[in-house]
Amino acid sequence: MPITRLGSRQSQLALVQTRWVQTELQKHYPAEEFPIVTMTTQGDKILDVALAKIGDKGLFTKELEQALLRHEVDVAVHSLKDLPTQMPAGLVLGAITAREEPRDALVLHPRWQGTPLAALPAGTVIGTSSLRRLAQLRHRFPHLTFRDIRGNLNTRLAKLDRGEYDGLILAVAGLRRLGWDNRISEVLGPEVCLYAVGQGALGVQCRAGDERVLGLVQGLNHRETALRCQAERAFLRALEGGCQVPIGVHSQFQGQELTLTGAVLSVDGQQRVAATRTAVVTETAAAVALGEALAQEVRAQGATAILQAIFAQVGRG
């Protein structure tokens, strides 16, 4: 019986995501086995330092990629937002799965339940580990107080419930996948907070040239999601940004037209450059071209200077 090993982080959310991939593959290939091999990444180990200060290139993916290259696993399942836009030689993105809701959510302590983000009083403490979220919320709500928070979703929610924070900003997708929809107080629209590149989708990574495995995972690819995410990833790659740089996106298809919005912000939220482009996108090359054109547009509006200042401050990871 053929065996295809699936690599996953050990976190509860990562395992839920990998088990979904396992179930889908098992459904289509009942005569094969798809055991899950778990491992801990650097991002899982270092929990007392802000993500931006420990670098972001492969923070949650490098160990899985190394296991792939060493033939210890045959597939690595990632949250696509964590997967760097430049992959190690010998690895390819075999599939991008159908996207869960990509936006961010406000999760409040019970004492603030029912209060919109815009109505929270000055000094309210909001936890986030993302510079992207931090910069956008500082831009819109400079009166709020923001504090870093690390750890898996269970850990973060426990800190919230203990009253260490008044609210948290978390991905809707992760909350839904763990069955915690009831914790969502408000879903943040693009006018408040653009989401991370690839957020809500899973990236299924394989070895280049491994035709058997690439054939197995091809059925997991969701065409519309893949085109949206390829445009978003091209935008990020052209800006040389990582997942800890304040870069946000929003993408939407209407017929064959893909509209992509992208923004670059300074860490303090004082500076913001944003642009939107629309193009007919029916293949990967067109999606990539759209993302690259949008990157050129925001650079022309001043994004380059903002990014250079950020790289000097937090490094490139």
Residue 210 annotated among the catalytic residues of the structure: no
Nearest to 263 by CA among 244, 250, 278: 250
Residues 229-250: tens digit of each pLDDT: 999 999 999 998 765 689 999 9
Identify the active-site residue in 56, 74, 82, 104: 82
Nearest to 171 by CA among 162, 161, 180: 180
Which residues, at least 6 apart from 101, have a Cβ–Cβ distance to it below 8 Å?
172, 173, 176, 187, 200
Q: Point out the least confidently predicted range of 84-93, 117-126, 149-158.
A: 149-158
- What is the signed CA dihedral for 285, 287, 292, 294, rounded to 10 degrees? 150
Residues 58-78: tens digit of each pLDDT: 556 889 999 999 999 999 999
Query: Residue 60 in 3-state DSSP?
Result: coil
pTM of the model: 0.92
What domains, with CATH codes, occur in the chain?
Answer: 1-97+201-221 (3.40.190.10), 104-187 (3.40.190.10), 223-317 (3.30.160.40)
Crossing angle of helices 153-161/12-28, nearest 10°? 140
Residues 209-226: tens digit of each pLDDT: 999 999 999 999 999 999
- CA dist 106 → 57, 135, 139, 141 (Å): 27, 15, 16, 13
Bridge-based pairing of strands 186-187 and 75-79 is unpaired
